[in-house]
Each structure stands twice: as structure tokens, then as C-alpha cells.
Amino acid sequence: MDPIELKRAVGSGLLSFPVTHFDQELKFDEDSYRKHIEWLAGYDAAALFAAGGTGEFFSLNPQEIPCVVAAAKGSAGKTPIICGAGYGTSLAIDIAKSAEKAGADGLLLLPPYLMFSEQAGLIDHVKAICKSVGIGVIVYNRDNAVLTADSIARLCDECPNLIGFKDGVGDVDKVIEITTKLQDRLVYVGGMPTHEVYAQAYFAAGVTTYSSAVFNFIPALAQRFYQALRSGNQPVVDEILKTFFFPFVALRNRKKGYAVSIIKAGLRVRDRDPGPVRPPLIDLNPEETALLEHIVQANEIEKIAAE
């Protein structure tokens, strides 16, 4: 997909990060993953991010990533597939090139491994990866990789295929500076964990789309919440926050790494088992899974979403 086409697609609706399916030996389960992608593609996501954060990018080896991308592309129909890329510059370039060859429509550039660095180093890192491929790139501000508005503006001048900015830091004032300075040069994506609880503040900052992890197991509700936000239907927004997202986040926050693990547990609750998470993550225990099932069933989530 042409970078400009991808930019339009990403900004057109809700986004999601499919979990990566593993068997009981923790090997990539391609058949199960393909079925999951087919199911999600039926709920009108603007784009799906294969091998992203919720897809356990950090647990995949570089040889597995193009396999995941190819499986997603083969099952998503017309839905664009954006692949994660990260680690040090050289390895990120290798991943980016292999993802492009496997059919990815774009890249989400995750933070480099561990190191904190100066703006000049981050600019060189992003620029090298952008110039290694012809597909569109979305840069992700998070953890040890936080670009300033001036740095992003410079990258936009030097990298025509840099089409998007995603924020996972939560400093809305900095986001406003970026959106004000860059205007429509980029598409802006919210990327906080369970971003729905932050979405109203980000909408006010000019970030009108986001990646929804819960789309993995309650896609109809995720879309209903997003449409209520876009249309200003505050009673529906408030009701879904109270009945689902607030208790969901409380459960997610019980243990480290549960931002991914709870999504896989949600699929098990919906009888769509994606297999376990890979270490160092751990799965929810039976009591926590039962609580999650109660959150879903007690509120008749999919029934509510369909009304």
C-alpha cells in the first residue's frame, strides 16, 4: 500500500493489535492465528497491527515475524496490515525489510532495546529505518524513545514515508505541541495501555484514533465505544467506561505484563483460545480469569454492543 493510502486508512477508524497465537509448546500457531485475523477483519478495523506489542513482538524471533505478517496478510482481506519493528537500528532494518517483503503495508517503529539516548541518536535511528523501506512508517513515542515536536518535524522533512505518530507516554501537552506543529502532515494514534480510558483527553488533543487491545475479544463493543466517542454520545461512553473498562483496568493492573495476558484471557472467555503467553509474561490465574469472565458476562457486553 502506498504510504499516503496507508495514512488515510489509519486515520479512518479504529485500530487493533491482534494477539499472536501459540500452541502449548509456545510455537506460532498459524492456523489459529489466521482464523482470528479473519474474525477481526469482519469488524471493520481501519488497520491491524501484526506482531505488535499486544502481539508479543518482544517474544518473537526475527524469523517468525515475516511468517506472522504473511499469515495476517493472507487472512485480513482488504484490511491493511502494519508490522512491528524494533530493537537496535541494524536489527530493526532487517525486520522492516523482511516485513515489507512478506507483504506488510506499513511499520510501527517500537522503541529500541533498553538504551536511553539523545534526540540526535533517535533521529538517526528512525531515519535509517524509514529509508530502508518504501512502505509507510509510524513512529511510537514510549518509554526510552520519546521524540520532541522539533525532532519529529525534522524527520518529516527528511522521510517522506513517515506517515504517523503514536503516543504511549501520556503527556497530553506534548501531544498537543506535536499535533499543532505538524498538523495534517501525520496521522495521530493513541497508544496508551487500554487507551479507551484516555481517549477523551486525546481526542481533545487532536488524536482521533487509537489502537484497541480489547478489540481482540469484544470487537463489537470496541467499535461501539469508538463510534460513541466520535459522535459525542457521552451517555454511551460513560456507561461502557463504568460497566466494562474501569473494572477491566483494575484487573489488568493486578500484575506486571497483564496488559497482554488479559487480552489472551479475554479470548479464552469468548471460547477463542489463542494459547498461552510466552515467558517472561505469565497468564492470568483461574480466579482472575473467572473475574474477567464475570466482567464480560455480567454486562452482556456483546448484546449491549449490538443494540
Binding-site residues for pyruvate sit at: 54
Give the separation between CA 112 and CA 57, rounded to whole angstroms: 12
Catalytically annotated residue among 87, 166, 198, 226? 166
- The verdict on whether 127 is a catalytic residue reads no
- The verdict on whether 140 is a catalytic residue reads yes
Q: Are 3 and 163 in contact (CB under 8 A)?
A: yes
Could you tell me the CA-to-CA distances from 161 to 6, 112, 158, 207, 210 in Å, in that order? 10, 20, 9, 20, 20
Give the separation between CA 282 and CA 254, rounded to whole angstroms: 12
Burial (0-12, 13-18, 19+ Cβ within 10 Å), 126: buried
The separation between the first and the last C-alpha atoms of the chain, rounded to the nearest angstrom, is 35
Could you tell me the CA-to-CA distances from 189 to 15, 51, 53, 269, 288 in Å, in that order? 9, 17, 14, 28, 30
Catalytically annotated residue among 7, 33, 87, 140? 140
Strand residue runs (E) in the chain: 15-16, 47-50, 81-85, 106-109, 136-141, 162-167, 187-190, 209-212
Helices (H), 11-163: 30-41, 64-75, 89-101, 119-132, 149-158
Q: Are 175 and 205 in contact (CB under 8 A)?
A: yes
**Would you please indicate which residues are annotated as catalytic (active-site) residues?**
140, 166
